[in-house]
Amino acid sequence: MAQRRPGRRRAAPLLAAAGALLLAGCGTGARTDGGSVLGNTLTVYSSLPLQGPARANSMSIVNGEKLALQQAGGMAGDLLVKYVSLDDTGGSKSGWDPGAVATNAREAADDTTTIAYLGEDDSGASAVSIPINNQAGILQVSPTSTYGGLTSSYGAEKGEAAKYYPTAKRNFARLIPNDLRQATAQARYQRAQGCTSTYVLSDRQPYSMTLAANTATALDEIPVKVAGNDVIDPTASDQSQVVKEVRSSGADCVFYAGYAPEGVAALLNALHAGIPDATLFASAGVAVPAVANALDAGAQAATRFTSPEIPARVYSPAGRAFVAAYRRAFGTTPTADAIYGYAAMKGVLDAIRRAGPNGNDRQSVIDAFFALKNHPSVLGTYSIRPIGDSTLPDYWGYRVRGGRLVYDRTIDTRATS
């Protein structure tokens, strides 16, 4: 499991970024018709939080991207490919900054050699940069942004995903499974654990509330009864009223669609103490070592998490080869997200190559990336759907043992007949 920072935003605080998003969507100063790069040198930009608590994980993603380019000899076909890594924190010690994200995207959009942009980590940050790159006709591939509303209107906020694409053409893609798949994964995980009735909790963040609503829908379809669906404050010092409401519902399972880890361990401990026979489930946003380590022994045994990050123990031979190459190159073990940075860069380089004589043309490279079908990779074989999501189907279930997150099972989220 990735050693992610406490408070890492795996999906978007989209309302908090709304002001910056409106700013980012206009006045870029970049051409809006894509166009071709002159000469035989292309640039791929990366934008990630390189300062603060996310630095270690982001640097591992950057190293994965660099490794893919190094293995290609810095080339895609006959074209030289340069790599520029940018920091999207703006010097902030707490995480990505909307202004810094917009500045990074504009820098890439204004660079006439830019062919692709790898970013962002957080979905809220991607919501800022996508419209800028969309207007400039630049392919954007995120290693880790999972919020469903970036690509789909299903279960999303009003105007999503269309509002991120001012040209009405898609330029954003991701390989990591989105949170719509997580809702399905949660429902199937809960059913596999014997849940008959689930009480759904979320915090006040749009990501959390959207995931809670989508999971409730997925539970209804299985079916598992939804005993309740409440918005709570996970950082409140007294969770007795929440425990009382859940207990009175008669639910045998509880799902917390968390956005950030603060207060989550105390919430789960309180739920277990008050409802010791209930199985507790939580989302990827709070599936971090800090939460697992702070759970009481009883709560550890009762709690399950879902995550889109592939556990190292189930890596394919290609995935294990990536880890070995990464260790040789950088002298350390990659985080779980590094493989997505590596795969994203590999996919971009392949798209440039497959564009052939048009490998220096922005729209041709977008088209080539979106045309990936049954594409073998370290993540498994995938295709890119027209909306920009990959077809990779698996989420992963984790238990807690000895204060650590440990792989429990693979959860296939593909539709069933």
Spatial distance between the Cα atoms of 126 and 98, rounded to a whole number of angstroms: 10
First CA to last CA across the chain, in angstroms? 32
> 317-330 vs 55-71: helix axis angle to the nearest 10?
100
At 159, phi and psi to the nearest 5? 90, -10
Q: Is the peptide bond before 120 cis (omega within 30 degrees of 0)?
A: yes
CA dihedral 131→372→392→142, nearest 10 degrees, is: -30
Do the beta carbons of residue 145 and residue 122 sit within 8 Å? yes
CA dihedral 315→84→37→107, nearest 10 degrees, is: 120
Q: List the CATH code of the domain at 180-307+394-412.
A: 3.40.50.2300
Give me the residues paired with residue 84 across strands: 45
pLDDT at 33: 57
- Cβ-based burial of 345 (10 A; exposed 0-12, middle 13-18, buried ≥19): buried
pLDDT at 371: 98
pLDDT at 205: 87
Domain boundaries, the chain: 18-177+315-370, 180-307+394-412
Mean per-residue pLDDT pooled into runs of 10, the chain (417 residues): 38 42 41 79 98 94 98 98 97 92 98 98 96 98 95 92 98 96 97 98 91 96 97 97 98 95 97 98 94 98 97 95 98 97 98 98 98 96 98 97 97 85
pLDDT at 267: 98
Do the beta carbons of residue 118 and residue 47 sit within 8 Å? yes
CATH topology identical between 18-177+315-370 and 180-307+394-412: yes
Which CATH fold would you assign to the domain 18-177+315-370?
A: Rossmann fold (3.40.50)
pLDDT at 21: 45
Do the beta carbons of residue 340 and residue 64 sit within 8 Å? yes
